[in-house]
Chains A and B, each alone.
Chain A
Amino acid sequence: MSYVNAGYAIVLGILFLYGLNLLWRRRRLTRTVARVADSRPGPGGSEPAPLPAARPAAEVG
């Protein structure tokens, strides 16, 4: 594979994968938002909505 093709493939590949990553993160977050918003407390007795699958814990500094 020539240098040129490799260069194009790698650069565009990186951009493409990062773009997918962004879309995936946005989708996961909008789902979580909907879930958290749904489970806002009513007067006392509401069932919280089922939680999304555990996401990696936020890094504790």
Chain B
Amino acid sequence: MWRDAALVAGKDLRIEARSKVALSQVAPFGIVALGLFAFALGPARAPMVSGAPGLFWVAVLFSTVLAIQRSVSVESADGARDGLRLSGLDPAGLFLGKALAVAAQLVVLELVLTVGVVLLYGAAVKTVWLIAAACLLGTVGLAAAGTLYGALSAGIRVRETLLPFLLLPVVTPILLAGTRIWQAGLAGGTPSDATPWLHLLLAFDAVYLAVGVVVYGPIQEAT
């Protein structure tokens, strides 16, 4: 399973390296989103700074939808999905591989957006490990849930409008938790403020990774 996962992740990342879609389109979209928020809340700094954690995570969530759409669409051309089905790859490995590739792109995106938030909103990162933990754990959850819903909507023509509507409500716990942890990280608060939220992210990740590994195969067969 892990070998197949590495294979699939490598394939997706190689496609990204060549097409550079995430780098040239998704990340800039995230920055644009930050700019839109600034216009919506500004020009005074105060609302931006206090809203920075939430706005960061909303931008991440929207960018995740784009990343997942991209992850699904690299396969829907030319019957590649059938090819994958027939290839004998372990579906659990396929799931993990795709999720891994999406997660890698999201991590890079979050790095960019963090810098953006610091520069554009004047947010000051006090407790780095909290910020990093939130981003990493949140990313895993977003990638897992996103890959699942991407598979569910893979064969559908209205996927562009359906996927956001399906995925975003499901990942609101990540938004809530990520925002809270970031608030603690920016304010230099005690980690105990953030601990329950870290646990929530861990639980979310565990649930969606486990479910994905189990049901990805049946979903592929059905759609």
Contact = CB atoms under 8 A, between A and B. Distances in A.
Contacts of A61: 156-158
A56 B203 CA distance: 45
> Interface on chain B toward A: helix, strand, loop, or mixed SS?
loop
Interface residues of A, number: 2
4 contacts: A60-B157, A61-B156, A61-B157, A61-B158
Interface residues of B, number: 3
A7 B158 CA distance: 37
A43 B156 CA distance: 39
A38 to B, nearest CB: 34
A29 B156 CA distance: 27
A57 to B, nearest CB: 15
A61 B156 CA distance: 7
Nearest to A59: B158
Contacts of B158: 61
Nearest to A60: B157
A60 B156 CA distance: 10
Interface string A31-61: 0000000000000000000000000000011
Interface in B150-175: 156-158
